[in-house]
Every structure is written in C-alpha cells, then in structure tokens.
Structure 1
Amino acid sequence: FLGHVALGNEEWNPWEGDEKNELVASQQRYEANLKMIKSARSHLEQTRLRVQIWGKAAIGLYLWQHIFGGHLEPADATAQWREGSQKAGKTYFSFITGPSVVPGYFSVEAENVVLVLNGREKAKIAYAAQWLHYAQTLIQTHKIQRVAVVLLGNEQCKNEWIQPYLKRNGGFVNLLFVTYDYTLVNEEDIFQWPLGVATYRNFPVVEPSWSMLHDPRSYLCNFLGTVYKNSSRETLMEILKQDGLDKLCWIAAREQWQPQETNESFKNYQDALLQSDLTLCPVGINTECYRIYEACSYGSLPVIEDVMTPGDCGNSSMYHSAPLQLLKTMGAPFIFIKNWKELPAVLEKEKKMSLQEKIQRRKKLLEWYRNFKAWMRQKFINTLENSFLPSDKG
C-alpha cells in the first residue's frame, strides 16, 4: 500500500498547476512582446516624414517649447547651440537653434525644412534673406526637397519681400505661416500664426498651479508698459486716474520702450499678471501683442482694445474679423472693447464678481489657452503632412 502511495506520489505533481500557469503567462508575455515589436515597427513605418526646424528667430521657441511642448538641450537659454526632437503624427521633428546655427556649418538632417525667420524690419529681413538663399541652394543641389517658413511678420504687415520666394510666385517656399492679420492669408499656402509670448525676454512655459486658479488676486487689473505720446495708452492712463481706478490696479507706466528687461522688472511683470484678474492690452504698433498670450499663461483675462492699427494689416479672403482674426476664430474668451471709456463699466462689473466666478473664468481661460496651443500644433503638423507627404490616393 505504501508503495502504491509512493508511486502515486510520483505521478502526482503538486507544481503542475503552477507550470501550466507559467506556460500560459510566458505565452502571454511572448505575445505581448510580439505585439510591442510589431507596434514599434509600425510606429517606425508611420514616421513617413522627417522635418528639421531651424529656429533663427525667437518666435521659434514659442513654436517648439510652448506649442509643441518640446524640450531643448542644453536647458541654458544663452547656449550657442540647442536642440530637441519629437515625434508627432506621421512626422519626426528635430529642432535646432542658437547663434551657432549658421548656414553651411551644421548638418542638414532632413529633406524637409521649416525655417523660422524674423521679417520685422529691414536689417532682420536682410538676414532672413540669407537663410532663404541658403535653403534655395540646398534645394537646387537636392540636399533638401521642401521648405516651409514661419515668419515673425512686419507689425504693419509689410511683407512684400517674402512674396517672390513663395512657390505660387515661382519660388521654392511651399508654405508660409505668418504673424499678424496679413491680408494674403488664404489657408492654402499662407496661414496666420500666433505672435505668442516674448521668448526673447525668456518668458517661460508656465504650468498652471492650484494657487493660480484658486487664490484671490490683489488687483482688479494691471498694465505695465510704455505709454507713447498721443496714443490710446495716454487715454487709458487718464481714465484710470480719473476714477481712482489706478488704486485698484497695478499700473507701472514708462515713457520709453526697453527691449532688455532687468530681472527685477521682469519678475514684477510676472507678479502683476499673477496678482491681477484682468490684464489691459492697449494697441501698440499692432493690436496683437505678447502681453495677450502672457496674460493667458497666468490666468489673467486680457482686456483687448479691439481696433485696427495703421498699416496694411486687415481682413483676408478667409477671415473678416480683423484685428486678431486667429484668436477670434478660435473663440478666445477675452473682453474686447472699442474704446477705453468702456473700462470703468468693465471694472465695476469686476468688483461685483465672486471669487468662485473668477475661479471658473480662470479655469475657462487656461483651458482655452491649452486647447489653442494644441490646436495650433495639430494644424501645423497636418498642414505640413498634407503638403509634404505624397498623396495616398495613388
């Protein structure tokens, strides 16, 4: 009997169940790995476009860090050379920027190039033209195939100089993304691009925090900036003083524009945005200004002087709501006023708002801004892919 038990024990394997489970588990692991490899392979296959972005204007940092949420190495903003990369859609993007990025002295790593240029004034245009000529040479020697340009346009939309470079006019530039309400925007090869924040002053990517949303703010509104003679900004200052509203708002006016911020003045400015429910945005040379986007970053609602400025900007064949067509089309939840005389009524209403209402408004603003950047990113990628990728229609 004992022998039988012993024999029985040999046949009986207490680990059998575990082995079966292990077999099933290893089979599942194998299948999961296979799936991962397949997905990685298809992921690689899906990357059908390689695009190198050459950031030769500060607006490139808004494109890469703010809209694309991309990183740069090294992190030091004063570095001679900075780079980053990101896969998005079917496209692998690499981005290079810094003073060391000079025509002929860096490796061109994609056959599709996005050139980010400054076309604001004569000296900048001459520099931008050098880059365009370099790109043209690369096309002629078959080093690259396609070029798009992101242009910090002239504040009065005097961008005629770029026209001969466009493919539609016999040039080689497939796509143009340009700031301000350029009348030639057609949503085919010319698109409006947001001005964004003042990256040239190292305005950061701001992550919304709990306190930014929920804390009471000390000021109804803020305006830190230059007050030009005989401008609507003078009117604004008078209106604020008349009603004693300047006591409720953080106002720091100066008579001369300073391109270089001191650390202290910049910190002041960021504090003002963070401590005010509203940010006043009077027109400058153009209606669109960095302040609009910077206020959004801190959940301070822009109050926009919604008037056209002198120059050649205006409605295009696609949009009829200039100024700020892009922001309006995207449903920006700002306060638009035609005249600063409307401001006292706006501020009266503001005084009556509960903190809860303000929190809701901040949430709405921050969410809108996040969606706006995501939408611009998607639109940029789709536009490049539609233009640069061969059509799948056979």
Structure 2
Amino acid sequence: MKIPKRKLFLLIIFAYVAFSLYAAYNVFFSNKVISRVHRVVKKETPFVADEWNPWEDEEVEYNSALNKKRKAFKQYMARIDRSKPKRYKVQIWGKAAIGLYLWEHILEGPLNPTDKVAQWREGELQSGKVDFSFYTGPAVVQGHVPLEMNSLVLVLNGREQQKVSYSTRWLEHVQALVQSNTVSHVAVVLLGNEQCNNDWIAPHLKRNGGFVDLLFLIYDSPWVNDKDVFQWPLGVATYREFPMIRPNAQLITSNRPYLCSFLGTVYKNSSREVLMNVLKQSGLDKECLTTAREKWVPQETTESLRRYQTALAQSELTLCPVGINTECYRIYEACSYGSVPVVEDVLTPGNCAAGPSSPLRLLKAAGAPFIFVSDWRELPAILERERGISQEQRVDRRRRLLEWYSGFRQQMKERFTEVIEENFFKTV
C-alpha cells in the first residue's frame, strides 16, 4: 500500500515532536542520574630480566668513599669538641688582707661593692681555663659562704700567734669540708712569719698527711720547692688601704722635686738609724723627703696615707731599709709610683733561706730593676750619681720600672693560674 507523501511527512514531524518532548522531559524534569564508570585497565608488563649496568662498580666505590668521608668528618668534629678548652671553677676565700693584693693587683679582679669597709665583698673573673670567684670581708664566716664548687683557695695570715690561731680555725673548717667530700682540692696563700717560722701549718700539708694540696708562701722560706710550695710576693699594704695605682703620663714624665724619700718607723740600734744619720751628716736630708717615727703604727690615717703616697710620687728613689724581714711593702708601693727602690740587701735573723739569691730571691729572679746596697754608707755616692742623670733618662727609667712591675704581676697571675690548673685538674 502506498502511503501518501503528505501523511508520511506529517508522521515524521509527529515523531520528531514526540521525541523532542520526551528528551526535554528527561532533561528538565527527571531526577534520574546517569553515571558512567570508566575502567582503567593496567596493562601487564611482560617480565624483563635485569639489565647489565657498566657503571655499577664505580657507583659502589663512590658510595663507599662518600660514607668514609662522612665518618671522618664526624670524627673530626668530635675531636674539635674534645679539644675545646674546658672551664674549671675555683673559689677564693680572702681571710687576710693579702687576699686583696692577690685579687685586685695580681689577678686584677673586680670587687662589689666598691666600698672598702663593706662587710661582704665579692667578684668573679676568668684566668686561663679557670673561673675564679672571690669572697672577702668580716661577714665571710665559716658555714656562711656559698660553696658552689669543690676547689678552694684560702688566704690566711700566719705572721703572729693571734693570727695563727684564727687561721687554724679556718683550716679546721675546710678540713671538715674535705672529709665530707664537699671540697676536693685546697690551696693556701699564706702571709708567713717574717722569720720564716711556719711549722704550725706543716701538719696540714698533703705531703705530711694533711689535706692542703698547694701552699703559696710569702718570704724566702726554705720550704719552697716549686712542686707543692711556691713563693709568693708580699705586695702592697692593702690592710692600710694602699690602692691599685694606674700609671699615667704625669706619673711618668713629671719633674720630681726630691732625689729620695723615706717615711717610716726608725727602730733603736737598727740600720734605719744608720740611714738617717748618713742623710743628716752628708746634708742629703735637704734633697730627700724624710719623716721618721719611733713607734710602728698599724693603721694609716687618711692624711698620713696621702703624705706617704705624695712622697712616693715626688721622689726619684725610695729608700727601703730592712725591718724584721728584708722584704717590705714599701718596695712594691714604690714600684707602683715608678720610684726606684733602693733596697738594703742583707739577710735578717731567723729561719729564712740563706743562699746566693737571698734575700728577695723572687724579685731578683724576676729581674727587678732596683738599686741594692749592703750598707747605707753607700748612699751618698748613689745620690751623687743621681744628680747627674737627665730628666729624659729619669723618665725612661720610670717607664721601664712601671713596665717591669706590670709584667711581674702578670707573671705571678699566670703562674698562680697554671699551678692551680695543673695540680687541681690534671686528671680531669
């Protein structure tokens, strides 16, 4: 049967419209979600045998060498860590005035508070591998010092019996600390007896069964062996508040009005009487500043200390006659002002060492640029030569003396520190 074209055309249009309406309905009104799943299929890789690497041996050698370098570097860094200087801690208890000379003049440490009459003063400094801490003053009493380390230096006075009794009590206190394992190492800086009678401390030395490892002893004691007993300088009279003098241009270059000076006690039938008579008989007392007193006075007044320091600063030479011992504070105080000490070089009675370098063997060994006399009758000739020295020569001599004294103190600082390090920490 033949379908008319018109009907066929209408049928096609009807089918198209119906399909369009159905499609529109599904797009805009149907809630059905059509999902598509995409499957990824991993292709199987056929087995391939390991390929030969022509550089394999070289890579192994390279990695081995690299590991060796890394190991060597770690060992090098470990050696650096081990070679770094270790710091050690030592505490100093100053129970004698010479402790101030040790701390301020030799070690050049600070003190707080700066008030000299303070009941408690303390300071810290580093010297070599050692961190030192220092405590001094009347308030520093047994059992009330903050002991934060196991190495201790005790500064004591053993010049007379009363001082010996006081020092012995401190030694007994420290001995108890050693016995309780609170303290492991002990050194003593001792102002010894002027006649070198120091037997009272001998039982406390480790070599005699005691606990004191090291002894730094003032005056020419026959005990000095530079192993466990070392000689120490007397220094300036800090107990009279003699200060630390800082050299300046005026101190070095000024014109000093006096050839020499001596302010001190003149004992009956002593060489000091001879000295004063020589000055008077030769008329040199007019060119030298002298003040004599008959009785020794332990403390200076502010005015007497000022006069004494002025005399040192205004004289070319400072006369240093012997007392009970040849070594005296005046020697070091003259050096502080660049005034050349004229030292009576004779042994005094007692048990101090007698040898070719005694007395004053420590200063002589250090090359002290002093003028030594065996008799004060040599003084007029010395002062006559002094008159002929030019100002330029005097200035140069002062400079050399001040440099020597500074170097001497530095030498003692290094020696003290090294002895402490070697004896306290040699097994650390």
TM-score normalised by length of structure 2: 0.80
Deviations 1:39-91 (A, max 9, x none): xx979963431100000000000000000111100000100100000011111
Are positions 1:354 and 2:390 aligned together? yes
* 8 Å CA contact retained: 1:112, 1:145: yes
AA aligned to 1:99 is P
Counterpart in the other structure of 1:16: none
> How far apart are residue 320 of structure 1 and its match?
3.9
Are positions 1:176 and 2:236 aligned together? no
The alignment partner of 1:336 has SS state of: strand
* 8 Å CA contact retained: 1:47, 1:92: no
Counterpart in the other structure of 2:286: 247
AA aligned to 1:325 is R
Counterpart in the other structure of 1:322: 358
Counterpart in the other structure of 1:308: 347
TM-score normalised by length of structure 1: 0.87
Pairing 1:128-277 to 2, within 5 Å after superposition: 128-277=167-316
Are positions 1:72 and 2:108 aligned together? no
* 8 Å CA contact retained: 1:299, 1:365: yes
Deviations 1:366-387 (A, max 9, x none): 0000000000000000000000
Deviations 1:91-120 (A, max 9, x none): 110000000111111211211000000000
The separation in 1 between residues aligned to 2:263 and 2:112, in whole angstroms, is 32
AA aligned to 1:233 is R
* 8 Å CA contact retained: 1:308, 1:314: no
The separation in 1 between residues aligned to 2:86 and 2:345, in whole angstroms, is 42
The alignment partner of 2:177 has SS state of: helix
The separation in 2 between residues aligned to 1:310 and 1:175, in whole angstroms, is 27
Are positions 1:127 and 2:163 aligned together? no
The separation in 2 between residues aligned to 1:43 and 1:290, in whole angstroms, is 45
Are positions 1:373 and 2:373 aligned together? no
Pairing 1:338-353 to 2, within 5 Å after superposition: 338-353=374-389
Pairing 1:8-27 to 2, within 5 Å after superposition: none
> Residues 228 and 77 (structure 1 numbering): CA distance in 2 closer, same or farther, change over 3 Å?
same
Gaps spanning 5+ residues in structure 2: where?
Answer: 1-76
Of structures 1 and 2, the one with the larger relative CO (CA 8 A, separation 6+) is 1
AA aligned to 1:368 is W
> Residues 110 and 45 (structure 1 numbering): CA distance in 2 closer, same or farther, change over 3 Å?
farther
> Residues 123 and 240 (structure 1 numbering): CA distance in 2 closer, same or farther, change over 3 Å?
same
2:322 corresponds, among 283, 297, 316, to: 283
* Seq. identity, %: 59
Q: Which has the larger radius of gyration?
A: 2
> Residues 43 and 217 (structure 1 numbering): CA distance in 2 closer, same or farther, change over 3 Å?
farther
* 8 Å CA contact retained: 1:296, 1:366: yes
The separation in 2 between residues aligned to 1:108 and 1:171, in whole angstroms, is 21
Counterpart in the other structure of 1:92: 131
Give structure 1 regions of 4+ aligned residues with deviation exceeding 4 angstroms. 41-45
